[in-house]
Amino acid sequence: GRMGGVTNLTDPLWRKYFEDVYNDSLQSMPFYTVLGNHDYMGNTTAQLKYNILDQRWILPERFYSQQVPIPGTPGENVTFIFIDTSPFIQDYYDKPENSKMKEQLALQDYTKQLSWLDYTLSNTQTKWKLLVGHHPIVSHAGKNIYKSVDPARSMAAVQPLMEKHGVQAYFCGHIHDLQHLNMNGSDFFISGGGAFGKVYLADEDTTSFVSFKSDAAGVMSVHLFADRMESSFLASNGTVLHNAVTPVSPTV
């Protein structure tokens, strides 16, 4: 099939990969969305506008934050911060996957996004701050494109801001497996095995951070409470592969 995101608001891929998949009991569930590298191979502006056709699809900006009440915990909220990670990957500028990617990434500024992230986190009042993006900040899988000759020009630049502002966890995909890493007081969850699991060459530099990794196909289930977050990795048959508990305040 075509690997390049959508061409416009009426692209049949919307129906094939979104409308016809997430229906029935998910009819009223909001989908907070982030852009990935394949989206940049298509029309990202169409994705920013798709909410006018389906209100479940939420992507108001390329990066944005959203405060949400924690269910069953009156008065307690969580702030989700959604980032646009492709502009951090030097590889896509050096070797763009197509002309659309080249054109659209040329208009992005990762340094402005870092400033926005720092400012947004500084002004976030909630105890829970959770970050969501497409590419990993740290990963145990090979081909670590977030690793760059210049760490300031890569996904590694996001990590010090997480530490500075007490962000409890980062959720991402891109790598087609399941991983849980813990580094400098934050949890890093990679859930990219929804369609299939892939075997990667291990990155030995990150071995000490790894709590769990599996090349099984599967998904994550996350429950948030006022004082902790309980995360589970589930295989496609529903078997629990790994459980993690993230406290709201780091334990010293």
**pLDDT-derived band of residue 68, with 50, 70 and 90 as boundaries?**
very high
Q: Count Cβ atoms within 10 A of the Cβ of residue 83 and give its class: 0-12 exposed, 13-18 middle, 19 or more buried.
A: buried
| Integer angstrom CA distances of residue 72 from 77, 224, 225 | 11, 10, 8
pTM of the predicted protein model: 0.94
CA max distance for the chain? 51
pLDDT of the residue at 58: 98
pLDDT tens digit sequence for 129-165: 999 999 999 988 765 555 566 777 889 999 999 999 9
pLDDT of the residue at 148: 60
**pLDDT-derived band of residue 1, with 50, 70 and 90 as boundaries?**
very low
What are φ and ψ of residue 234, in 5° steps? -115, 135
Please state, in angstroms and rounded to a whole number, the distance separating the CA atoms of residues 234 and 243: 9
Please state, in angstroms and rounded to a whole number, the distance separating the CA atoms of residues 79 and 64: 11
Q: What is the mean pLDDT of the chain?
A: 91
